[in-house]
A and B are shown apart, each in its own frame.
Chain A
């Protein structure tokens, strides 16, 4: 049995089945910059195979909370428990690379691979080759990283996060700068790898309508957690409506169902290769 080597033991010594799959837990986090409170009393728990989406307006403290969970920032009070030796794959929100640095996409991805990883028995993992194929990155490998488009960059960053063989994926605005079809594809791909490899996924988004479908739990953040739960409940809760307004039915969410039997368009560059397109149609 694993014991926490650093921050804290799990709350109860008797492990319930759910605690075996628990990846990260935040307990009563508070944070302030100077005299400004940014986060108040945030608690959350993420298990394997679970997707939690953090939404909230600008300035709600989403990035601060993410930094605390990633261990980049110490909270003013409260604790973070991480599963011992938790491997986190992180996809930062934006990355700026000076054009004077000569670096190809391939080198960028190679720099992320951790050399000292021991394969563990309980992990089903995805090979780097598979990641490149799924995210359709082979054609980009020899390009300078500064010359690829915003959407391509998001796929490269996702690939780098996946190459570290994570147990927990933390994605900060994963579809920023991606066109609407690409967004739907990225979300479907994230859902698919969650189903296949049981990664726990924590992501931040400000576009709530499109992320909702596969998310197990939505946390609506505005310094404190103003509502949380299954997407359906959250979108009908009063706090949510006050914060974001009602779901505008005029914003239709386009979902890309690539089924070669029905749809004959070319499956060329820029597409993500979903393993089993048929599985995706259950949600219609």
Chain B
């Protein structure tokens, strides 16, 4: 009934690793109400994919660079244009997704699994990805070791944090950089359209169980790993698409926890 192939081993290790790097970023995305910002970066990842194919560059690297450019675009447009950031994010998210789709469709010489990019294909995870996931995990751990308190203060009120001596811009930039890394890597597992759910849903579910920010981080790590493992199992036994199965398991956990009295 259960055959442990190398593919499955890579998928399981990669999935657990991605859950572990998503949760710590996800709690701050939720606390800072930045889920639409995360979604915009994720949508722009498809533009990164198509540019990588067009220019024959490294896939993850190109996605990270494009995400960072989009993030930079959001910040500058936000300060100079008279648009609400909500509208601005909508424009950037969808125009970059559309541009990505167009650029992909122009490259008819290459066989491209578009569904794989949009909804994920966990079997496309390879050894290289595992190393990148591990490196990102270490970077995130180092970042929080130094800046956990700063991030909490920025979340509470960024002006107050800055007056009190936090280097707000520097810390925020590092956070966005890590977010771009995480999106570029998780895209393979759950796809461009579902990446944000890995950030948001385990963190939202963890809220019901937590009384401190640190407990919420801990629970979102646990619930994220649980969603990935049960999602991969469901996909393995019932032949479901893996990305959507993981998202549905996370949502199921979230739904069950809604019944818990706080």
Contact = CB atoms under 8 A, between A and B. Distances in A.
Interface of A: 67, 70-72, 88, 90, 92, 95, 97-98, 100-104, 107-108, 111-112, 114, 160, 164, 170
Contact of A90 (B164, B203, B204): B164
A64 B212 CA distance: 35
Contact of A111 (B33, B153, B207): B153
Contact of A102 (B32, B149, B153, B213): B213
A101 B151 CA distance: 12
A205 B111 CA distance: 65
Contacts of A71: 162-163
9 contacts: A71-B163, A72-B159, A90-B160, A92-B157, A95-B156, A98-B33, A100-B204, A108-B156, A112-B153
B163 A88 contact: yes
B149 A92 contact: no
Contacts of A102: 207, 210-213, 215-216
B31 interface: yes
Contacts of A107: 212-213
Given A111-B153, A111-B156, A101 B164 contact: no
Given A90-B163, A114-B164, A100 B156 contact: no
Contacts of B164: 90, 112, 114, 164
Contacts of B163: 70-72, 88, 90, 170
B6 interface: no
Contacts of A114: 164-165
A101 B211 contact: no
Interface string B153-195: 1011101101111000000000000000000000000000000
A107 B211 CA distance: 11
A102 B152 CA distance: 11
Q: Which of B31, B160, B207, B211 has the most CB of A within 10 A?
A: B160
A111 B149 contact: yes
A100 B219 CA distance: 13
Contact of A98 (B31, B159, B160): B31
A66 to B, nearest CB: 10
Q: Which 7 A-B pairs have the closest CB atoms?
A: A90-B163, A101-B31, A95-B157, A102-B210, A100-B207, A100-B30, A92-B160
A103 B210 CA distance: 10
Given A72-B163, A102-B215, 16 more contacts: A67-B159, A70-B163, A71-B162, A71-B163, A88-B163, A90-B160, A92-B159, A97-B156, A100-B31, A101-B155, A102-B211, A102-B213, A107-B213, A112-B160, A112-B164, A170-B163
